[in-house]
Amino acid sequence: MLSLDRFAQGLPDPQEHQPGPIDECENLECSKPIYAGQRIWKHGADQYCSLRCLAESIGASDVTAL
């Protein structure tokens, strides 16, 4: 018999739901998934998973100051 009690079935457990990626790193050599709440770096509309990926993507390089 169908229960009409509104508390017969509880709310879904949020821990059972595994969040999926919302985007991926724009660095073509990386392409790691980016998840909600993760710290990212932006350059224009592009999103990068790390500062290293951002620097590589825009052509920055390490040099020694003279």
Question: Is residue 4 a part of any domain in this protein?
Answer: no
Range of the domain at 52: 23-58
Kindly give the confidence (pLDDT) of every residue in the chain, 66 residues in length, as a single tens digit, with 9 standing for 90 and above. Answer: 677 777 777 888 878 877 889 999 999 999 999 999 999 999 999 999 999 999 999 999 888 998
Within a domain: 2: no
Structural domain includes residue 15: no
Does some domain include residue 27? yes
CB 26 within 8 Å of CB 46: yes
Sequence-ordered strand ranges (E) for 1-62 = 23-24, 33-34, 41-43, 46-48
Structural domain contains residue 12: no
Total domains present in the chain: 1
Per-residue pLDDT at 46: 95
Task: Note whether residue 41 is domain-resident.
Answer: yes
pLDDT on residue 19:
80
